[in-house]
Amino acid sequence: MGVMRFLTPRFSVLLIAALTTALAAQARIGETQGQIEGRMLREGVGKAFSSWPKNMSPRDRERAERSNPLPALQPYFPEGTREAAYWKTAVRQRINAEEGWRVQVCYFRGVSVLETYQRVGVALNDFEVKAILNLNRGGDQPWVKVEKGAAGESSFGGYGYELVRDGAPWLRAKVQDNILIIFNVKFDQAVFEKRKVETEKEREERQRTQQEKLPESVEGL
């Protein structure tokens, strides 16, 4: 995603502004399901996700499903988390266009806390990433790019952007494969801690099983 270095700063700003307008129907962290679907499910804009585009090859479908980060985390979501998936066309008024977005949203206590924007048909680019991040700012505070190695603990194995609100981290984001992931920090920490506890329990259980089988496994040596 290095295309931005070839463009002037002014042109980059104008292009991102135009993209922000074009992508305004996307989901946004902190909104209710009704607010998000009021934009996403408008005629000619988006619909509930039911299947991949017909022209998508089996190999590309498999890759798209495999790159989805949510299935591995679902067992650790707080009770009451609800999920929804949408298809957002990238071609205005062509809801069944082959190019678009699969947008997955996790709702907790009535509002969006985790969103994935998976680009379909073409590669996700820097301008789209910046435009979607801008839509999720919700104020004057800018997103800050986090250098590799500087990110703290996260259920997504790190993050590349952080947004602060009222002096504390509020949102974080990460680009992974062809997906932009944006998540509420407190929700992510809850998932991370639950996963950590469950992983430790599984490790201890394996050790107990190994210890119990030890006399039999070495008998006769």
Q: What are the pLDDT digits (tens) for 97-139?
A: 788 999 999 999 999 999 999 999 999 999 999 999 999 987 7
Closest residue by Cα to residue 68 from 45, 53, 52: 52
CB atoms within 10 A of CB 194: 16
**In this predicted structure, what is the pLDDT of residue 169?**
93
Distance of CA 128 to the CA centre of its chain: 14
**Residue ranges in the chain whose pLDDT is less than 50:** 1-7, 10-24
Residue 116 confidence (pLDDT): 97
Number of domains in the chain: 1
pTM given for the model:
0.81
Range of the domain at 195: 3-218
Dist CA 100 CA 41 (whole Å): 14
In whole angstroms, give the CA distance from residue 84 to residue 97. Answer: 21
